[in-house]
């Protein structure tokens, strides 16, 4: 049967933590404490990656790299990455449980998918230690996938590598990559899906890519909301997304559309 067998969700910014705020403030703080002021946009750009890779990516940005050289009289090195990460992890752990509320429509959507016999997997940029906080807190609030993988289980090869998706497929016994859909809220998520050969979907409202809290989004005028949606949509499609949805309420309908494409012999990323 040419039908979708499983959906693999990202966590923060997709399933929980509207706007993906838990890590972003910590990235800004640890750089500030090191004497470097980074912007919200710079802190968000590598979002979705394993967090130590995220720090390395930020330090490699030309502006931040130049500020580092100016302050320390040398280019950053791996020891600097590790020192920053050593500050990052405890700071994130201290506040993480507060950022585990499921995003609107996620619980209902997952129930609909399960009723259709689909398996629910997940991947993340968080480590196993971080997920030991997130998973039980999300469960208390009604969200629980069938399986989750962190980059700790793939030798620290997180996104955009496809290995976490492959681990999900193996565990959930999904028969082919083109019968799998990956949903995420960052360009790293999209690339992870593209590299795994699965259908790659970006969710726009509540995404780290958009970077707005629910209150901030609701405070925008209609035309400002449309502009923010359009900009995020463009970014996901530039990264190779097969589809974007504005919110999870559109997802069940999208699964029907993908099933129709599969019945016609269509495959992800090559239409």
Identified catalytic residue from 51, 119, 179, 182: 51
Q: Which residue of the set 10, 17, 233, 242 is catalytic?
A: 10
> Is 189 marked as binding a ligand?
no
Same domain, 10 and 67: no
Tokens of 144: 């629980």
* Cα–Cα nearest to 198, from 56, 42, 5: 5
pLDDT at 90: 96
For 200-233, how does the pLDDT look when each residue is reduced to its tens digit (9 = 90+)? 999 999 999 999 999 999 999 999 999 999 999 9
Q: What pLDDT digit, counting tens, does each position of 224-247 carry?
A: 999 999 999 999 999 999 999 999
10 is in an annotated binding site: yes
270: confidence class by pLDDT, cuts 50, 70, 90: low
CATH number, domain with residue 157: 3.40.50.1000
Residue 55 is part of a domain; what is its CATH number? 1.10.150.240
Provide the percentage of residues in the chain whose pLDDT is more than 70.
99
Question: What residues make up the domain containing 87?
Answer: 22-98
Q: Look at residue 138 and tell me if it is in a domain.
A: yes
pLDDT of 271 > 60? The answer is no
Please give the sequence-ordered ranges of beta strands (E in DSSP) within the chain, or none if there are none: 6-9, 119-122, 180-184, 199-203, 243-245
Specify whether 51 is catalytic.
Answer: yes
Is 140 annotated in the active site? no
Task: Please state the pTM of the whole predicted model.
Answer: 0.95
Is 270 a member of any domain?
no
> Can you list the pairs that 112-118 forms with residues at least 24 positions away whose Cβ atoms lie under 8 Å?
112/252, 113/7, 113/251, 113/252, 113/255, 116/255, 118/4, 118/5, 118/6, 118/7, 118/255
DSSP, collapsed to helix, strand or coil, labels residue 214 as helix
- Residue 17 marked ligand-binding: no
Instruction: Using the 3D structure, point to which of 67, 98, 129 is the last residue of a domain.
Output: 98
């Amino acid at each position: 049967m040419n039908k979708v067998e499983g959906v693999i969700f990202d966590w923060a910014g997709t399933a929980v933590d509207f706007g993906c705020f838990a890590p972003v403030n910590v990235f800004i703080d640890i750089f500030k404490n090191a004497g470097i002021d980074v912007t919200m946009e710079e802190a968000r750009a590598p979002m979705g990656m394993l967090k130590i890779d995220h720090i390395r990516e930020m330090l490699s940005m030309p502006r931040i790299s130049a500020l580092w050289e100016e302050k320390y009289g040398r280019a950053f090195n791996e020891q600097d990455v590790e020192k920053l990460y050593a500050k990052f992890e405890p700071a994130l752990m201290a506040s993480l449980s507060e950022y585990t509320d499921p995003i609107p429509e996620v619980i209902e959507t997952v129930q609909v998918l399960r009723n259709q016999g689909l398996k629910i997997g997940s991947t993340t940029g968080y480590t196993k230690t971080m997920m030991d906080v997130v998973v039980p807190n999300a469960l208390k609030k009604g969200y629980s996938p069938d399986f989750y993988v962190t980059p700790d289980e793939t030798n620290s090869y997180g996104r955009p590598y496809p290995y976490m998706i492959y681990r999900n497929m193996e565990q959930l016994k999904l028969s082919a990559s083109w019968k799998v859909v990956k949903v995420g809220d960052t360009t790293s998520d999209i690339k992870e899906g593209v590299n795994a050969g699965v259908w790659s979907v970006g969710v726009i409202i509540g995404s780290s890519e958009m970077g707005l809290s629910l209150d901030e989004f609701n405070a925008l005028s209609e035309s400002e909301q449309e502009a923010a949606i359009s900009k995020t949509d463009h970014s996901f499609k530039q990264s190779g997304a097969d589809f974007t949805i504005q919110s999870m309420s559109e997802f069940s309908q999208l699964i029907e559309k993908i099933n129709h494409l599969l019945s016609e012999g269509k495959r992800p990323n090559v239409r």
